[in-house]
Amino acid sequence: MDYNWDWSVLFCTVADDDIGCNQPYFYWILSGFRWTVSVAAAAWVIAFTLGSVVGILRTVENPILHGIATTYVTIFRNIPLLVQMFLWYFVFPELLPKEAGDWVKREMPLPEYWTAVVCLGTYTASRVAEQVRAGINAITQGQRYAAMAMGLRPTQVYRYVLLPISYRIIIPPLTSDFLGIFKNSSLALTIGVLELTAQTRQIEEYTFQGFEAFTAATLLYIVVTAIVMTFMRVVEGKFRIPGMISLGAK
Amino acid sequence: MFSNFDFDIIIKSIPFLMEGMGLTLLLTFTAIVGGLALGTVLALCRLAPFKWLSFAAGTYVNFFRSMPLILVIFWFYFMVPFIVGRPVGGFYSVLVAFIMFEAAYYCEIMRAGIQSVRTGQVYAGQALGLTYKQNMRYVVLPQAFRAMIPILLTQAIVLFQDTSLVYVVGLRDFLVAADIVANRDNRLIEMYMTVALVYFVLCLLGTLGIRKLQNKFQTG
């Protein structure tokens, strides 16, 4: 392979005055990494909350609530994430009433960032919902009946019996969903968020030394994945219910 | 907003969109075939009795599974021409990226499928006097494939959706074709909604088909 590796490129100062900064390219990678983490973290809040609600609704008997939750999952799982990103960014503001649409387009702070967060959050929510549903369905019916026999109301059955067990069962698949959001946040570059992958691409364009930047980004992604996996394995061990094996949904 | 929704532009651009869909499907199928081939080799390596071989395959899988697909596409988009020594065109570079990336996921599906066959079955085969090869051929693999096929097909649908990411290198697939029309005629809403609808219908049909197949396997 005929490539001149030049690692110093990451540490040399950006000479271009047009972009108004005076710092090594390595800072671009760090700044991109911060955006990646920030998009992923904010999107996970939406994914976890919304996904839990939808997942729980998929296990209730009320046909309307059940139908709404199923429709949600079907829609969000069958459209490519990139297309969803474009729908949120270009189409969604047009569907809103005029004032609200204008606000989104002109006055909303950090429009690309929040669009990416909402898109990733709602998309991953459909995956989290499937895990939550699988977790609840994995619990033997006897637990539910026992809870009802003790006189608990339906919400209490979920709050005190079903959910505490199911969340512990689904820690491993939820971890991989979280890592999924972390990796998928790279799609935010298509609407202009300068996250980690976008920054490496930009360094490639400025210096033609792309492989150094790609390597740095790859290492960052791998390190974060390893840290999250190790941490979650500890968490899983801490919360394990004796005598139960964990199982994930596909 | 639907008052000036322009259906004409959709109908007029159908031939152009179909070309894009052709590339999407071509990329999907070739990536599935290549990914399955490499994935099978990886799965065999992972289950092989040699420690270093299964370690190498495991490292490969973990490496690709912790990287975003877009970054993998960038890597190979720039690297393949360097390795080959001449420009090869975006399609082949991206195809290599998809095959390498998908192989990691296919490997895991196959490994899980083979390991899902209960050990009692293997012992029963051995007790009947089957050789290792016969045992694999007649006892383990048929059951493993039955467990794997729905998941492999689901992964194929995921791959079909993921091919839209070639957008980042500007390969003219279905989404990019629609994007070109959208920007040329300033009809973003019409085009993006069409793209979403087409993907949705195709993926939904695929999902329903897989579910039907799954039921057949379970009762059969």
- Say whether A68 sits in a helix, a strand or coil: helix
Alpha helices (H) along B139-187: 141-162, 174-185
Q: What percent of chain B has pLDDT over 70?
A: 98
| Residue B132 binned pLDDT confidence (cut-offs 50, 70, 90) | confident
Q: In this predicted model, which residue has the larger pLDDT, B17 or A8? A: B17
What average pLDDT does range B65-82 have in this prediction?
Answer: 93
Amino acid at B42: L
User: DSSP 3-state assignment of B117?
Assistant: coil
Which neighbouring-strand residues pair with A13?
A24
Pick from A94, A187, A211: which is nearest to B1 by CB?
A: A94
Contacts 24+ apart (CB under 8 A), A67-70: A69/A129
* Shortest Cα–Cα distance, B127 to chain A (Å): 30
Domains delineated in chain B: 2-219 (1.10.3720.10)
How far is the C-alpha of A89 from the C-alpha of B181, rounded, in Å?
17
Residue A4: inside a domain = no
> How far is the alpha carbon of A2 from chain B, nearest alpha carbon, in Å?
6
Size of interface A-B (CB pairs under 8 A): 105
| Residue B129 CB-density burial (10 A; 0-12 exposed, 13-18 middle, 19+ buried) | exposed
Q: For residue A65, give the CATH number of its domain.
A: 1.10.3720.10
Per-residue pLDDT of chain A (250 residues; tens, 9 = 90+): 567 787 777 777 665 555 545 677 888 899 999 999 999 999 999 999 999 999 999 999 899 999 999 999 999 999 999 999 999 999 999 888 888 888 888 888 888 999 999 999 999 999 999 999 999 999 988 999 999 999 999 999 999 999 999 999 899 999 999 999 999 999 999 999 999 999 998 888 888 888 888 999 999 999 999 999 999 999 988 888 776 654 443 3
| pLDDT for residue A249 | 39
What digits encode the pLDDT tens for the residues B182-193?
999 888 899 999
A58 within a domain of the structure (yes/no): yes
| Chain A contact present for B164, CB below 8 A | yes
Cα–Cα–Cα angle for A71, A73, A77, rounded to 5 degrees = 120
Q: Is A232 on the interface with B (CB under 8 A)?
A: no
Contact status, residue A28 vs residue A196, Cβ threshold 8 Å = no
Which residue of chain A comes nearest to B152, CA vs CA?
Answer: A250
**Chain A stretch 26-85, residues whose beta carbon is closer than 8 A to a beta carbon of chain B:** 74-75, 77-84
Complex ipTM > 0.85: yes
Domain count, chain A: 1
Range(s) of the domain holding residue A91? 12-239
Question: Is there a domain that residue A248 lies in?
Answer: no
Over range B34-56, report the average pLDDT: 91
pLDDT of residue A18: 53
Question: Phi and psi at residue A24, in whole multiples of 5°?
Answer: -65, 155
* pLDDT band per the 50, 70, 90 thresholds, residue B140: confident
Nearest to B1 among A95, A179, A217 (CB): A95
Helix (H, G, I), strand (E, B) or coil at A62: coil
Q: Is A3 contained in some domain? A: no
Look at residue A129 and tell me if it is in a domain.
yes
Mutation to test the A interface, candidates B66, B75, B210, most A Cβ within 10 Å: B66
| Residue B210 pLDDT > 50 | yes
Give the span between the Cα atoms of B126 and B140, in whole angstroms.
11
pLDDT band at B85 (very low <50, low <70, confident <90, very high): confident
In chain A, whose CA is at the least distance from the CA of B84? A1
| Number of helices (H), then strands (E), in chain B | 10, 0
- Taking CA atoms, B160 is separated from A78, B104, B163, in Å, by 10, 16, 6
Give the span between the Cα atoms of B144 and B111, in whole angstroms: 9
Length of chain A: 250
User: Which DSSP string do the residues of A25-57 spell out, in sequence order?
Assistant: HHHHHHHHHHHHHHHHHHHHHHHHHHHHHHHHH
Fill in the DSSP letter of residue B168.
G
Q: End-to-end alpha-carbon separation of chain A, Å? A: 40
For A249, the closest chain B residue by CA position comes to B151
Asked if residue A232 lies in contact with residue A153, where contact means CB atoms within 8 angstroms, the answer is no
**Residue B155 pLDDT more than 60?**
yes
Tokens standing for A226? 């390893």
- pLDDT at site A246: 47
